[in-house]
Structure 1
């Protein structure tokens, strides 16, 4: 990004500090202009200084102290001074957490949840009465965002930042500081590993972004290895030699190292201090039988590796809070012993016993649970037993905040239709496939903010029940049946909804928004079949997108299957006009799908009045908009009538 204009610099600066362009008090205007001159239009410098000043008393004298600390220098020197000032202005606990980010490569997308649990494993997050460690860690993460020390990468509909990046200039700063104080040692590509053996003090955390980690570790003495607290890999690695010698190791992340096999983790059970273990997307097929020796282990990530069964001793990991595995993994029946467990994904009904399902009821600290329901629908008695046990267990999980139930192919969740489920704390619910919306999804779920449903059909009364969910912010409805009726969204419901997706995979768009509908909606995503929209709903003219008063972004996926090019292009033209009618300028993201299955009208025997239909094999995706005109449909009907009517000579 290039330098900002003076006006844009002022806007960025004042909005960050005061919340508006004109919120600066009179006594601070002059010093504000002087500070902005030091930023020289650099967005990062402007934002960083504004973040510092947001916590400084609104006194000209205090602001002058910040101004004087920068001094006069070249733009590059000014930038470094500003960033250094920003770092040293951080509280000690945030300095530590920020320095830890020096382990990540440039432009790396850092997931918030994984980062927070690494901070916890390292001991950076202190115990706070009444607040879970993860909550404290998330607060630290958000504070670094607010201070512009890290940049949001993925922001959810509710403003939650799911992942972040570190600006390259800030990364350069924290790598430099981390190296000086021996906080992190980063081994880059093509870097000589021998320089790390010359450290006067012991390496504490080792992040390798190269493939020579084995050479480095082999050169280090047993005493050197015993001081390493973290090993994190971002590149190909053959293995970790002398694994049992890492007596202080808290974090071991070998995720995505496909070359890691079973023999590479021999003596894993000797890492007695280990709290965070990531073996995801490796070639590991089994864990040591003595895995319970890792008594302090809090996170175990085995997703994407070849493990099919967990050792019986796994249930004795009393401090385990996050257990992440593949759908096909078999658990020990006595999982109820893992009382600290908060996150469990995935659990397959087909791979585990009814006793295991019953034991789930004992995991009363569970907050996130993903289940794969894979009992074939023709095994009625078996399905009923599992359903009854599952429902009974779920009703005991009073702290559950996120639940995903996903059926495998050939299975249905209809056995959950007539049950009674109560979820007082549930915030997120995802149901993979069910014929109708269950009655237990109703306004009594007063904490529900995120709902995803894949159903055969949605009726008006079903939609009305969803409208009354009091705190719903995100709704995704996928309808698989081609016989849905026209749905109407009025002004009475969906009062808080901010983002919504309506997907008709086998049908047209049967949805109308009345005036006042979804008053807080900002993002709308639609997927529908153009031809069925014309045939079943007389097109989509007048669907009321302009009635979504706060809409900012409209994403449309047009399924061209069975439609003529003429119909699709008319639809695209019509939706552009609908977007133009909206009171605000919408951001449009629109794509065609299944263009290869489009039907073309072509001249037949040189007479355009007798069209033939052929499949268009061109399939270049384009960004377009949708809507079909009624007069186009009427003209097509007239043509068909001419073809079928008897001639006068017969």
Structure 2
């Protein structure tokens, strides 16, 4: 029911916008629109009460469906009217005849709107009368607040989101699996972990995979997620990408057989570990197994699966490791960690008996315990009894039915989070989705509620944090500033989101071998992988569709070589269009999609955006990635709602491949809402414009050969809101280059030659992430950079430094958490004094071919959690040998070590 409440809320917002933005065209019909607005406001009041009474009452559910349907009808009427008026405005009029035609068409549009509103009014009257028919006329008369709206005290919400998943009860399993990996026969064998969904197979496997003993035992290790919706070519490409043996362009030319051969040849001389997570079928193993050669050197393949037969099929000689349920005490320990995070005393004594009874109903299944713990962490103690009574599940045919507990957590979500959770079903299984993208999609759909002058992005971040605190999503990565960077959703929770979304006509997901109902009425459609090769099935859907997201390998294969015949004209109400792997040019017809808020075309071969893109006056986010330099028409100056413009590379190396070229001299300063402008080339458009984009938070620009250097550096001093800046110089940065005036700048990426850090560049005090590339510095850059007190991430990449020595001084780099040294080909010695790098968590060194040993002072970096050494000198192999190597004492305290040696 809460989903219906949200549908009505979005409709009310749309009605308000209509009255403000279309005042001229609504002359004479405002009363009807205001009546509609008032009626839906009254319905909204009834819905708040109905939400508390719908459980188990089919009459209330049916009434809610009626309200949802009429709200959808009203939305269609409004969007149709806006579409018609937009066409009239675009055509305008010149001369007497066209003027009279314009007036006539405006009157026709009004008449149609009045007629449609009258039809909606009749439906609303029928729905109001049906409350008596259904015997539910008393709803709306009580003002009690739903218990699901209440919150637990703030002290229960203090746990950090970026903590490792709680590891409880699998200690013995960990030791058994580590031993099986490192001991036993030399021939390649498959070690399988078997168990039902939600049992913790992936959590255990990650613990094994990241174990220091395992990392140092194998020369090469790779983690690949399979899922039910795998694509063979994608899987093999992902493995090749992990080894970085060929370029992205070469990779795309290879077929499945060739990809398997490349992987096999690369692994022949290595003791490797391959982890295949979530294997569902025999076929998934059969298409991959030939890529993993048996060289009798102790190599291993590990896989997780819910099907024991799949494990035996992969290696009949190897006994699958079957994961059991947690015992009572382990279950209780996990429950307390999730329900009372960050508190030593854990569960209060007066709640323990009831808490243990709730835990007992979870039957030792970790996912169920985690989800119910997340739910109770936000409940008042007196509400626990209600939760306890709501849980009624049992073992069915050897498996635990957990849908009740998961559904309970969904129903407990506040109304503003429900559509956000349901929307997660758009992503394919095991997909790691970027937080920024999801927030932009939520904003385009209208899910984010404005809170005063606060930016919607901040609202979206808070929504995501709350979902994570409730354990409805899993945190994957954080940015340098501590923000959530990417997330995942557990398979079972994803299934729940898809099921609930389908029932509420909110979203429909199409995947392989699943047919499409011709009675489909959902407002959003997501197509995963190669679900359907033909696009003709789309014609069976009504034009009600508001969002179309296609995650296939080849969009053009599915839509045909000229998709503009239908895709860009058949769905005139689209707010979100997300396409991948488009080879053809975008047609001019895309300009007809005037309702679009979000447009993304990624991994494309586009060379130019059509000038009609300027007609998308409501567009907020435009993302295009291509293997070519993209021509951006000057008509973008008309898109005054645009907040995010990303024109990025689709290649493997995002710093060298493609740029957006803005044509002409558009007035971008008119786009006052612009927050993000990335990967564009410097040009005439900057003159008198760039310095006026004062709302910019993120900017990425290529300066070319220096023609616009002066304009750029004179302009950026006015960008006081700028938080992230990427600048690529054509050759070298001017001696006068300075960034010190950018007080809010947190991230800075400079690509191009610098005469010297202290002379040519000044950095702002708040800088927390710095990347240098092609700087050709001759003096040790650390001597200057160690003075940046807020620096948390430092990346010195290819040719950033061409000297032979570097040193980290004592009591310096106090905040640095991540240090990345890559392709410093001349570096021979690196010294770290004791007391330096006291906060370092992650160290990565890649292709520093002359570096023969690790610094002595590294042994004092006791905070270090992860060490990656890729393609280093062969001498490292002996020096880092466990317990015996000269450098082992420097790294033995590091939990996760990943080493790949040069051939």
Helix, strand or coil at the partner of 1:330: strand
C-alpha deviation, 1:286, in angstroms? 3.7
1:588 aligns with 2:892: no
Indicate whether 1:573 and 2:881 are aligned: yes
Please show how residues 119-138 of structure 1 align to structure 2 within 5 Å. 119-138=442-461
Match of 2:803 in 1: 483
For the residues of structure 2 that align with 1:169 and 1:581, how far apart are their CA atoms? 42
Q: Answer whether contact 1:117 1:134 (CA < 8 A) is retained.
A: yes
Structure 1 190/217 Cα, relative in aligned 2: closer, same or farther at 3 Å?
Answer: same
Evaluate the alpha carbon distance shift between residue 191 and residue 417 of structure 1 in structure 2; reply closer, same or farther with a 3 A threshold: same
TM-score by length of 1: 0.79
1:465 Cα shift? 3.3
For residues 133-282 of structure 1, the aligned pairs below 5 Å read: 133-156=456-479, 159-193=482-516, 195=517, 197-199=518-520, 202-209=521-528, 210-211=531-532, 214-220=535-541, 224-225=542-543, 227-235=544-552, 236=555, 237-238=558-559, 239=563, 241=566, 243-258=568-583, 260-262=584-586, 265-282=587-604
What secondary structure sits across from 1:152 in the alignment?
strand
**2:785 aligned to 451, 462, 466, which one?**
466
Structure 1's unaligned 5+ residue stretches are 376-382, 596-650
Question: What secondary structure does 2:669 align onto?
Answer: helix
3-state secondary structure, aligned to 1:281: strand
Larger RCO: 1 or 2 (CA < 8 Å, sep 6+) = 2
Rounded to whole Å, the distance in 2 between the matches of 1:553 and 1:282 is 35
- How many angstroms apart in 1 are the aligned matches of 2:387 and 2:364? 18
Query: How do 1:288-303 residues align onto structure 2 when only pairs under 5 Å count?
Result: 288-303=610-625
1:544 aligns with: 857
Q: Taking structure 1 as reference, are residues 499 and 544 closer, same or farther at Cα in structure 2, changes over 3 Å only?
A: same
**Contact 1:10–1:21 (8 Å) recurs in 2:** no
Is the 1:442–1:469 contact (alpha carbons within 8 Å) kept by the matching residues of 2? no
In structure 2, the CA distance between the partners of 1:391 and 1:313, relative to structure 1 (3 Å rule), is same
Report the CA distance shift for 1:158/1:577 in structure 2 as closer, same or farther (over 3 A).
Answer: farther
> Are 1:109 and 2:429 counterparts?
no
Q: Does 1:371 align with 2:701?
A: yes
Give the Å deviation of 1:81. Answer: 0.9
Residues 392 and 5 of structure 1, relative CA distance in 2, 3 Å threshold: farther
- Counterpart of 1:336? 669
Structure 2 Cα separation of the partners of residues 459 and 287 of structure 1: 44
1:544 CA drift (Å): 0.9
Alignment of 1:414-453 (within 5 A): 414-416=733-735, 418-419=737-738, 421-439=740-758, 445-453=764-772
Distance 1:304 1:395 in 2: 31
Give SS of 2:632's match. coil
CA offsets 1:588-611 (integer angstroms, 9 cap, x no match):
111113x2xxxxxxxxxxxxxxxx
d(CA) in 2 for partners of 1:444, 1:157: 17
The superposition leaves residues 166-190 of structure 1 with CA deviations (integer Å, 9 ceiling, x where unpaired) of 2111111121111111111222223
Equivalent in 360, 376, 383 of residue 62 of structure 1: 383
Stretches of structure 2 that go unaligned for 5 or more consecutive residues are: 1-200, 202-322, 649-657
Deviation, structure 1 residue 212: 5.1
Matched residue SS, 1:475: strand
Q: Of 74, 81, 92, which aligns to 2:395?
A: 74
Aligned 8 A contact 2:880 2:887 in 1: no
**C-alpha distance in structure 1 between counterparts of 2:333 and 2:778, whole Å:** 46
Please give the per-residue CA displacement for 1:288-335, whole angstroms capped at 9, x wherever unaligned.
333222110111112116574222211111111111224343213223
Judge conservation of contact 1:436–1:457 (CA < 8 Å) in 2. Answer: yes
What secondary structure does 1:198 align onto?
Answer: coil
Of 133-142 and 154-163, deviating more is 154-163
SS of residue in 1 equivalent to 2:731: coil
Deviation (angstroms), 1:448: 1.4
Structure-1 residue corresponding to 2:776: 456
User: Any idea what SS the aligned residue of 1:589 has?
Assistant: strand
Cα distance in 1 for partners of 2:760, 2:534 equals 52
Closer/same/farther in 2, CA of residues 506 and 212 from structure 1, 3 Å limit: closer
Alpha-carbon distance between aligned partners in 2 of 1:483 and 1:160, rounded to the nearest angstrom: 35
Question: Does the 8 Å contact 2:588/2:611 carry over to 1?
Answer: no
CA contact (8 A) 1:394 1:421 kept: no
Mapped to 2, the partners of 1:440 and 1:30 lie a distance apart of 68
| Structure having the larger proportion of residues in helix | 2
For 2:840, the equivalent position in structure 1 comes to: 521
Asked whether the 8 Å contact 1:15–1:21 carries over to 2, the reply is no
What corresponds to 1:599 in structure 2? Answer: none
Q: Is the 8 A contact 1:558 1:592 kept in 2?
A: yes
Q: What is the CA deviation profile of residues 69-125 of structure 1, one whole-angstrom value per residue up to 9, with x for unaligned ones? A: 113522755511110110001001111111111222222222211111111111111
Change in CA separation of 1:417 and 1:15 when aligned onto 2, cut-off 3 Å = farther
Q: How does the TM-score come out when normalised to structure 2?
A: 0.58
Q: CA deviation at 1:509?
A: 4.5
Cα distance, 1:212–1:266 mapped onto 2, change above 3 Å: farther
Partner of 1:511: 830
Which SS does the other structure have where 1:92 is aligned?
A: coil
Q: 1:590 to 1:206 in 2, by over 3 A?
A: same
Residue 570 to residue 307, structure 1, CA distance change in 2 (3 Å): closer
CA contact (8 A) 1:443 1:470 kept: no
CA contact (8 A) 1:292 1:316 kept: yes
Matched, 1:402 2:724: yes
Residue 464 of structure 1, CA deviation: 3.8
Alpha-carbon contact 2:335-2:370 (below 8 Å) kept: yes
Q: Conserved in 1, the CA contact under 8 Å of 2:809 and 2:836?
A: yes
Distance in 2, Cα, partners of 1:284 & 1:483: 41
Give the Cα–Cα distance (whole angstroms) in 1 for the partners of residues 778 and 810 of structure 2. 16
Q: Secondary structure at the match of 1:66?
A: helix
Residues matched between the structures, number: 554
User: Superposition RMSD on alpha carbons, in Å?
Assistant: 2.8
Asked if 2 retains the 8 angstrom alpha-carbon contact of 1:417 and 1:439, the reply is no
Q: Would the alpha carbon gap of residues 552 and 419 (structure 1) be closer, same or farther in structure 2, given more than 3 Å must change?
A: closer
**Deviations along 1:409-461, whole A, 9 cap, x unmatched?**
xx43332565465210101011123345533898962221111123333645x
Q: Give deviations 1:33-72, integer Å, cap 9, x for gaps.
A: 2222222222211110111111112x3x432332221135
Whether the aligned pair in 2 keeps the contact of 1:309 and 1:330 (CA below 8 Å) is: yes
CA drift of 1:558 comes to 4.8
In the TM superposition, residue 231 of structure 1 has moved relative to its aligned partner by 0.9
Shift of 1:204: 1.0
Deviates more, 1:132-141 or 1:475-484: 475-484
* Equivalent-residue separation in structure 2 for 1:272 and 1:34 (angstroms): 55
Q: Label 1:373 to 1:418 Cα distance change in 2 as closer, same or farther (>3 A).
A: closer
- Range with bigger deviation, 364-373 or 304-313: 304-313
Distance in 2 between the 1:579 and 1:92 partners? Answer: 54
Return the offset for 1:512: 2.2
The whole-number CA distance in structure 1 between the counterparts of 2:493 and 2:343 is: 27
Kept in 2: contact 1:416–1:438 (CA 8 A) = no
- Verify the 8 A CA contact 2:625 2:647 in the aligned structure 1: yes
- Please state how far the C-alpha of 1:154 moved relative to its aligned partner: 2.9
